[in-house]
Amino acid sequence: MAEQKWWINGDVLLISMSAFFADMGYQAILAGFPVFLVLVLHAPAYYLGIAYAFAYGIGALFSTAGGILGDRFGRKRMAIIGNVFILILPFLSFAVNAIQALLTFSTGWWARNFRSPPRRAMLSESTTKEQRPRAFGLLHALDVGGGVIAVAYLLILLYLKLSLQSIFIFTAIPISISTVCLALVKGRKRDNSAKKPERKIQSKRTTLKSRMRADTLKGVLISTALFGFSSYSLGFPIITIAARTGSDLTGILSYLVYLAFSAAAGYIMGQQARRLNIVKGLAFLGYLLAAIASAILALYYISAANVLLSYFAVALLGVSLGATETFEPTIISLITSKEEQGRKLGYLTSSRSIGLFTANIGMGILYTINPSYSYIYAAAVASAAVIILIYFGRDYK
């Protein structure tokens, strides 16, 4: 049982702390970006959807590239390169129009996407299969925990009347610390000479196992892409709540709720993953909860409900994120070879990004017509993702 007690090694801790400091920086920008774009730079609401679609959609290419190049040239090297260029995000402070804001935000986000697959692969190769769910849960918990601190100081500094531009430039400090943490990771040297001399006999059992893994991989990638079509930036709920309550701070506070529940959920689910069927966990705790949350947000907009209802919906979205960010990479890492993990984890991020591109364009258009339409659309598509994942992953154990 010693393995269970000491599953956090030095590399796992450094990779997770890198995620903590990165989010402690750029999550303040993510929370403030919709307010900055729509209320400070006076861009129309649909422009927010275009900005997110541009950042997330093209980000799919960078995710794939990061995974492939990490497998080929070194995961640590590619993760550090991507992390360094996240420092473009704080330069959003100097944007004076919507176009400049979009380009700066997108470029920094592309760097973040480039870094994520090799960083996840680094975490995977630093753990055993038994340790992996808890390691990914810790990564997500500290990742989003840094975001909780970021939104907390964003709210405090806005209350003290500091400008968003001043706060954005400050985020360069924790992002830089994040890169230092990645640089300190020792990593594991690959033993390319350790090749198995004999070829495995293709028994009926190994054939079934191989088919099960292929079906599960296909199901996760398809459902991830479809779920991406339902996924929208929390910028939309932020401006919904801010508009309904007449308070920017109340809108941004919802992001704090979202991240806090996401961090807690990711850690708890990582600890309990060995007791769960993680495919069903992903389907019901991840995708289905997101569908329910979107339906509640639609109800909040069309009714005279108290703002607490919207916070409840945002909390469910946070739990959903905790489940998807813990279970998705865990499943991929368990059903793919070590040599291909960076590539397959890149495909995972790309699948989500492709969906996000369409989702945020669609959300922006539907939101302009009627915000409730956008949330109903998201609920319907997330429900479809549940069905697809359950079908393809029905044999997964």
Q: What is the pLDDT of residue 394?
A: 67
| Pair 271, 139: CB distance under 8 Å | no
Tell me whether residue 397 is in a domain: no
Structure tokens that stand for 190 in this block: 């690959």
Residue by residue, DSSP assigns 132-194 as HHHHHHHHHHHHHHHHHHHHHHHHHHHHTT--HHHHHHHTHHHHHHHHHHHHT-------TT-
The sign of the torsion formed by the CA atoms of 278, 283, 285, 290 equals positive
CA-to-CA dists, residue 382 to 230, 299, 345, 359, 389, angstroms: 5, 17, 21, 11, 11
Q: What is the pLDDT of residue 342?
A: 74
Task: Give the mean model confidence (pLDDT) for residues 9-37.
Answer: 91
Contacts of 75 (CB under 8 A, 6+ apart): 118, 119, 121, 122, 125, 187, 342
Give the C-alpha separation, 252 to 34, whole Å: 10
The type of residue at 325 is E
- The residue with greater pLDDT, 180 or 371, is 180
Q: What is the CATH number of the domain that holds 267?
A: 1.20.1250.20
Give the C-alpha separation, 35 to 33, whole Å: 5
pLDDT digits (tens, 9 = 90+) for 321-364: 888 888 888 877 777 777 776 777 777 767 667 777 777 778 87
pLDDT digits (tens, 9 = 90+) for 263-302: 898 888 888 767 777 788 888 998 899 999 999 999 999 9
Q: With H, G, I as helix, E, B as strand and everything else as coil, classify residue 79.
A: helix
Tell me whether residue 3 is in a domain: no
pLDDT digits (tens, 9 = 90+) for 239-268: 889 888 888 889 889 989 998 999 898 888
- Host H or E run for residue 388: helix 371-392
The residue with tokens 């258009």 is: 365
Give the C-alpha separation, 179 to 79, whole Å: 9
Tell me whether residue 299 is in a domain: yes
Task: DSSP letter for 245, please.
Answer: H
Q: By C-alpha distance, which of 192, 224, 235, 313 is closest to 49?
A: 235
Tell me whether residue 153 is in a domain: yes
pLDDT digits (tens, 9 = 90+) for 203-233: 555 555 566 566 666 666 677 766 776 777 7
Tell me whether residue 355 is in a domain: yes
Domain range for 386 is 8-187+208-392
Task: DSSP letter for 393, please.
Answer: T
Contacts of 297 (CB under 8 A, 6+ apart): 237, 240, 310, 313, 314, 375
Q: What is the pLDDT of residue 296?
A: 96
Q: Environment class of residue 311 by beta-carbon count within 10 Å: exposed (0-12), middle (13-18) or buried (19+)?
A: buried
Q: Environment class of residue 305 by beta-carbon count within 10 Å: exposed (0-12), middle (13-18) or buried (19+)?
A: middle
Tell me whether residue 233 is in a domain: yes
Residue length, the chain?
Answer: 397
Give the C-alpha separation, 298 to 63, whole Å: 32
Tell me whether residue 96 is in a domain: yes
Task: Give the mean model confidence (pLDDT) for residues 189-210.
Answer: 49
Q: Give the count of domains, the chain.
A: 1
Give the C-alpha separation, 299 to 294, whole Å: 9
Tell me whether residue 125 is in a domain: yes
